[in-house]
Amino acid sequence: MPTNVLIISPNPEPYMEHLPRAFPDVRFTAVRSLEVTPALDLMAEADALFAYGRGFNRECLARARRLKWFQCLITGTDHLTPVLAGSRVLLTNARGIHGPQMSELAVLHMLALSRNVAQSVRNQDRHVWERYKPRVLDRRTAVIVGIGAISEHLAKVCKAFGMTTVGVTRTPRAVAGFDRIYRREKLLEAAAEADFLIVLLPYSADNDKAIDATVLRAMKPTAFLINIARGGVVDEEALLRALDERWIAGAGLDVFVESPLPPSSRFWERKDVFITPFVGGQSDQYEANVMGIIEPNLRAFLAGRHEDMINRVAFPEA
């Protein structure tokens, strides 16, 4: 009996064009969404599932009677670990492919805020020629909270702009591209140095609202907060207060507690906030990059060498 792989992706064509040729003995099926009618029926026959995993719940797991491996197509798996914990399903993620696009998004936010790009766009819409003196990134300090593959890439990019790079992590160590590393317990001290406090923490119970009023008060009134990680790691009410009371100069936000951000959100109308719609991890090269994880993992899976699979996710202990 052939191995059945179900792919759930809004853009399945790159996978379906490449993988059946690379693995002719595997049966691949693709749907664009978990919500379409065939998805649950197809899941019942799947030995492996390649998907982002949003909406995958215990009902889906109960349907997926043959499922042995879930290849998450993104890095964050906090939405999947509670569902899969205690099951026999092996979970892998896409860690390691997001450095370039996430770093470019962080730079976009820094430049948009420091050069007031939103005002330039408004002026262009009104045909207004208004000159102003922009701030530069050169000799500014970027404090990156959370050190991993993305942060290491971002630090090198920041250095190319002439910035000082400071990292904050629970496990201090020498990391290429960083001028200094602080322990997490020294977050307030690091925040006080920041011209840009860039949040790259994964969401967890320990990181819930890690960037709170105390951290925001520690920042300089000329500094900017940039969150391209997860909405829940920032206390949004404290951030709105910090902006209202000018504790900080502004914020660049790609992620929010509620996503999509509802039209009623107070963040929309603020001229000191630059918003992007949760696009940090995406790129026009995404599927090609994630294929570099899928292919060796699928080869190891088919050979029964699960220990050789890349980016295995450990489930938290109950």
**Which token pair is 259?**
């996503």
**CA–CA distances in Å: residue 242 to residues 38, 213, 234, 245:** 47, 7, 12, 5
Q: What is the fold, at CATH topology level, of the domain defined by 99-275? A: Rossmann fold (3.40.50)
Q: Return all residues near 54 (Cβ < 8 A) that are at least 6 apart.
A: 34, 79
Q: Give a three-class secondary structure readout of 34-91.
A: CCCCHHHHHHCCCCEEEECCCCCCHHHHHHCCCCCEEEECCCCCCCCHHHHCCCCCEE
Query: pTM of the full predicted structure?
Result: 0.89
Give the span between the Cα atoms of 129 and 201, in whole angstroms: 40
- Helix (H) or strand (E) run with residue 292 in it: helix 286-302
CATH 3.40.50.720 spans which residues of the chain? 4-97+284-308, 99-275
Q: Where does 4-97+284-308 sit in CATH, by number?
A: 3.40.50.720
pLDDT in tens, the chain (318 residues): 899 999 999 999 999 999 999 999 999 999 999 887 688 889 999 999 999 998 999 999 999 999 999 999 998 898 999 999 999 999 999 999 999 999 999 999 999 999 999 999 999 999 999 999 999 999 999 999 999 999 999 999 999 999 999 999 999 899 999 999 999 999 999 999 999 999 999 988 999 999 999 999 999 999 999 999 999 999 999 999 999 999 999 999 999 999 999 999 999 999 999 999 999 999 999 999 999 999 999 999 999 999 999 999 998 754
Q: Return all residues near 118 (Cβ < 8 A) that are at least 6 apart.
A: 112, 271, 274
